[in-house]
Structures are given as C-alpha cells and as structure tokens.
Structure 1
C-alpha cells in the first residue's frame, strides 16, 4: 500500500504540473487516477516477473556453476572429444598397489615414479559435463549384468582400470575374483572378474585385430608367414554375444612393425591382398565387424561401443631409432598423427551402421597426455614404453566417458 499511495501522489503532481489551465483537480482527472494507478501497478508486477524469469536463473547459474545446465545435454549432441584437460586434485580415484587386478607393469608409482602431477588432470568437454565417478551408482547399475571388453592390451588396461575403480566401493574385497583363478598376463585370451556381491562380471577377450589371424596359405610367396582374414571375425567371437555391454578396441597392432615386418599380410576369402594398405585393410576388417554386430547382437539387450585408437608418443630419429620422452605435464597442443586415420575410419564405419553402436572418441583427448605413459616406470625399466599408460591414469577417464554414455542412456 505504501508503494500504491506514493505512486498515486506522484501521479497527482504530474497531472497538476502538466495541466496549466487547471489549478485544482477536476472531475476528469479524478476519473483518470484509477486507470493510471492500475497501469503503473501492472507495469511494476511485469518488471518483477521479468526479473524472476531472467535474472534469478542467471544468478543461479553464476553461483552454482554450469554443471546443472550442461548435465541436461543429450549425448547425441554433446561432443565429448572436444574439450581440454583441467587440473583436479580429487584424482587419482584409487591406488594401484591396493588393486590386485592392476598389472605391476602399469603401476608407475609402485615402480618408482616420483612426480604425481600426471594423476591430477580431468578431461572437461566444452559443451557438456562428464559427471564425477560415483562408484555406488555404477555398482548398482551393473548389478546382474555382463560387461565385456574385446581388443588388445590397451583394452586390457581399460578393463583393469574399471575393476580398480569399482573395487573402491566394495567392502569385502575377497568377493571380487577372477572366475578361473587366472593371473593377468599379456598372452591369455580370456579374463573374467566377478563382483559376487552385485552378481555381475567384467570380462576381457584378447583379440588384437578383431578378425582371424591365420597361418600362411598354400603357394604364398616366401615373405608371407601368416595372414589376416579380413572377412572373418575372430573365432572366439561367439563368446561375446550374450552380454549387456560390449566395448571393442583395435588399432595398436595395425602398423607395419606388427604386420608386414613379421610377414603378416591380408587375405579376403582365398585371395591374398599383398598390395593392400593398412588403412584399406583396417576398413575391410571393421566392415566385417560391423556386419557381425548387426547380424549377431540383440539391439534390445546389448549396448555396443567402439573405442577409437589411442595414440602413442614415440619419437623416431633419423636413424629410425625410437625414443620415449615422458614429460611431467600434458602437451599444450596435440599434433595429428597418422594413427588418427584409423579413428576417422572407425567413425565412418560406426556412422553407417544400422545398429545403434556408440563411438568412444578418445584419440584426440589422449594425444595431449604424453605425461601419462608408462615410460621407464614399468616392471622392466630397461625397455621404455610410450604406448601403454600408467594406472591410475588416462584409462580411468576413458571409463568415466564410457559410464557417462551408459548411465545417461539408461536414465
């Protein structure tokens, strides 16, 4: 009422000054008081409403941060691969020395690395937020499920990372065990860890090319010792079918040193493809993989992911000698290497699939992390390693991105 009276008084003064021929209020001006006052009141209420609609959310955004608006972004429009590494003192999320499923060769701190800055980085996409790892929420989501990794040693390190992340939320550590009592080795083709308290398993199948690796065919040139049968998926693929989540990865072995220099060439049907390039063969192999997924996997049950190639950081001298220089901090700029071609091919193949597979684009974000490699901090320090990654470390972020997709799609 105080505001109303003051406004009415102000209106009377304005009317008096604005009407030089009327020395006192007339009947007309008295009749005008009511609509003028009502109009002023309406304007006042409109201003209050506008401030609530526009100003309050802005203040909320300022003080609470951008995670609220970003968390509602759809995974279909969010490019998780576009972002930057930011410092985060809440990392690492586990201690590899306390996780029996982390290979000693990947436990850099346990193998004598003294700087810990490489553990304190988190990937932050530009247009969305990857939620912080919530171990209890993930354990509950995985209850009664079967999650399978298929690929090379990089896939195995991601498998180990996820197990170590999840074990931080399990009280009885003995309830987590390898189903066959096997120890983690580089050559073993199957490893499966069961979380008995939650009735789920996380499995790893070693398939470095995804397609079949065969012996030398008859009447092949002497330089041919074996072939990759690009039109046939690995003979253990039948074991991947009955799963709830499938994560595929290949790329590290698609290099001349693992193929041509060992006498391994490409084959389609009964025909040798001696002149086929590695990118060309990689595309044929992924087309074979995509056809198998569309034919063999139940899209109503299984979520399928393909994780792109993770770049190495070897330096090649003029004498073709490889050296490994692990830095203390991430690179400020990441160069685009030839291996990115494999990631581009994977993206194109997945995009053309009728099956709703998801591409995990980790190539670009991993290219910055020269600081996160094993280097000389393996269980064999005389052999430097600029291909594999320390645990804890970069593979943990791959898993956080994977879980972001899984839990968001699930919700």
Structure 2
C-alpha cells in the first residue's frame, strides 16, 4: 500500500522524538533487569530456606500414583465370558459377588492429568519380539492373568508346556507378536518358603532371568507368616515363629533384605540387561479379624483419598517404605553405571488401599465348597481394580 501525504509528514518529524523514546525504553529495560535479578536472588534464598516447598508447572510430569477412583460407565475391559485366563478363585462374576456391577465401574484418575486407557494393540506392538517375567507371590500371577485378559481383545496366547499346577512357573506365548510372558511363583523371592535365606535369591528365577526383557518384581505379604530367616550362613532370627528364645525380626526388615538381594541379583545377572519394574505392596483388606478367624472384606465402593480408610495400615506402610527405599538404591546404582531408567517404580499401594471392595472375599468358590483360603481379601477380582495395573504398566514402559 502506498503511504499518503500525512503519513509522510509524520515520518519526517519522528526521528527527534524517537531518540528520546529510545533512551527512555533503554532506561526502563535496565531498571527492570536489575529488579528481576533481585527477584531471582530472593526466590533462590526462599527456596534454600524452604526445602519442602515445591513448585509444580504445567510441564511437570504427572504423578500417576496419586489420585481418585472415578465412575466409569464403560468399564470393565473384559468379562469371564471373553477371557479364559481368569483363575477360578478370582472369578467374582461366576460366584455372584454382591453389587459387582457397581464395583467394576470405576477407573483410576490421577490428580492433574489423565492416565490413558489400556490399548492392547499398542502394548503388543511395544513388546513384539520380547519377553516379560512376573516374579513374586500369587498376586504376581493375579497381575499376569489380568494383563492376559486385557490383551485378549487382540490375541490369545498358548501356554508353553501346559501344567496342572497353581504354585509353579508357567509361560505363555503370543505367536503373532512373538511375545512371551512368564510367572515365577516365589513368595519370598527365595526358594524355601519355610527357611528363607535372605542373601540367596531363588535360583529358579535368578538362573532363568537373563532371557527376559522386562521383569515385574513384587513380594511382601508372605513375610507376615511364621518363617525362619537366614543370612550369611547363620540363623538371623524369625518372624512370628512362636519360639520365645528366637531373635525376632520384624517382617519389614526381612522385606527390605529380600528386595535388596533380588534387585542386586537382577542388576548383576549375567546377560540380563532388561528393565525391572518394582511393584509395591497391594494391601489386603481384612476387617474384623484375619483370614483364619472371621475377617472379611465387605465394602461395596472405593474410598476417597481423604477418608481415613485410604491410609496404609502400619504393616503395609512399613513394607511400602522398605520396597521404595531399596528401589531408590537400585535405581541410583544403575544411574551411576550410566543405565538410567533400568529400574522403574510401579507404586500401587495408595490406589489399591482405596479398593477394599475389589477382593473376592467369600465369592471365590461356591458356599458348600470347603477350601483352605475361604475368605480371600488378598487377591483381586478379575475383572477388577487390578486391571488399572495394565494401564500403569503401559504408561511406565512407554515413558
């Protein structure tokens, strides 16, 4: 556009005024910069004086372990009619757990961000030509079966060397994706469930682990049982073994030693360079007694994070602290060896403490059946809250 005559006149008279304006702007910038650097110094002093104050920006990573269970009318991902891998004792649909429809229709919602829904196709693409081992107690098997049910929308696996057993190692192979998943049943992470050698990992998983790309490690609840603990070739003591002359070892101390040994074994295993996911304790929810003297889990909804029941009980909190501290030590050791991200924490304790409604309870068998573990407030219904672990696992492995 061609300028008009009045505009030309304005351009002629501006230079003198522009010089004055430019000087003013420069002075203003200098004054602002001086004050801004003072503000920075003040902020740094405040930060140093208040180490517990943490500023969170929109770009900060979301903590997926803190949040609430929110209604989800589209849940669950599967049923016992669509997934054949559900252990009968966790088939709460089959055995008619009361109000199950409302119990299942929740999903985990972290504070301040969204946890993506589980995408079975994306998960199988991620693990194509790879393998994953679940190492731990029967909740590890519960977790693996949940994952297989989540993946069943895309592919069913075939069991490798089928076994008719519960407490044993079992493997499954997804042929289309060349993905193998295995559960090593090792409740103490050691070989003998009665005499635990805290510095000797179970050779069944320790000797086979080099062939796996991912390991999901858990274990805690068995340490509350009577057991004799050994370390360094001698008897260290026992946990609830009934011997008044024996040295008492608190269960969380044994859990700490067990995780230290297992994580070191994974770090040092010849040929194993995979990623280790440390899953924290998923607390049981027995109320009004234990599993053997009338305790039960009769809740029918999740609790909120601000309710008293959302706080971990003393034993669970001690287990959780031991697991997290040993994870941090292992992660720091890996980082010092220039292997950051080799150890990953999957902290499910708080979110699962809020789901006392998600256990089979007395609905893992028919009322007339006599079973040893008659009221189950330890394992999780399938489908159920444990399916959120698949969402967490996919999130951790892709971030």
Identify the residue that residue 265 of structure 1 maps to in structure 2: 228
Preserved CA contact (<8 Å) 2:201 2:265: yes
Identify the residue that residue 79 of structure 1 maps to in structure 2: 63
What is the aligned counterpart of 2:159 among 147, 160, 178? Answer: 178
Matched position secondary structure for 1:192: strand
Matched position secondary structure for 1:343: helix
> What is the CA deviation profile of residues 158-202 of structure 1, one whole-angstrom value per residue up to 9, with x for unaligned ones?
0001011111112xx4xx21111224x432x21111111111111
What is the aligned counterpart of 2:171 among 170, 175, 192? Answer: 192
Query: Are 1:111 and 2:90 an aligned pair?
Result: no
Distance 1:344 1:380, change over 3 A: farther
Distance 1:380 1:342, change over 3 A: farther
Structure with higher strand content? 1
TM-score scaled by structure 1? Answer: 0.73
Identify the residue that residue 285 of structure 1 maps to in structure 2: 258
Preserved CA contact (<8 Å) 2:275 2:343: yes
Identify the residue that residue 390 of structure 1 maps to in structure 2: 381
Distance 1:292 1:31, change over 3 A: same
Deviation of 1:269 after TM superposition, in Å, equals 2.4
Query: Are 1:231 and 2:208 an aligned pair?
Result: no
Distance 1:168 1:270, change over 3 A: same
Preserved CA contact (<8 Å) 1:326 1:386: no
Distance (whole Å) between structure 2 residues aligned to residue 286 and residue 137 of structure 1:
31
TM-score scaled by structure 2? Answer: 0.75
Identify the residue that residue 244 of structure 2 maps to in structure 1: none
Query: Are 1:240 and 2:209 an aligned pair?
Result: yes
Deviation of 1:322 after TM superposition, in Å, equals 3.7
Identify the residue that residue 10 of structure 2 maps to in structure 1: 32
> What is the CA deviation profile of residues 364-411 of structure 1, one whole-angstrom value per residue up to 9, with x for unaligned ones?
100010111111211254622111110011221012101111122xxx
Distance (whole Å) between structure 2 residues aligned to residue 277 and residue 149 of structure 1:
26
Distance (whole Å) between structure 1 residues aligned to residue 134 and residue 266 of structure 2:
14
Q: Tell me, which stretches of 5 or more residues in structure 2 are unaligned?
A: 19-55, 238-246, 335-341
Bigger radius of gyration: 1
Deviation of 1:302 after TM superposition, in Å, equals 0.8
Would you say how many aligned residue pairs link Structure 1 and Structure 2?
326
Distance 1:297 1:389, change over 3 A: farther
Distance (whole Å) between structure 1 residues aligned to residue 131 and residue 393 of structure 2:
15
* CA RMSD, Structure 1 to Structure 2 (Å): 2.8
Preserved CA contact (<8 Å) 2:65 2:347: yes
Distance 1:192 1:28, change over 3 A: closer
Distance (whole Å) between structure 1 residues aligned to residue 183 and residue 6 of structure 2:
89
Query: Are 1:296 and 2:282 an aligned pair?
Result: no
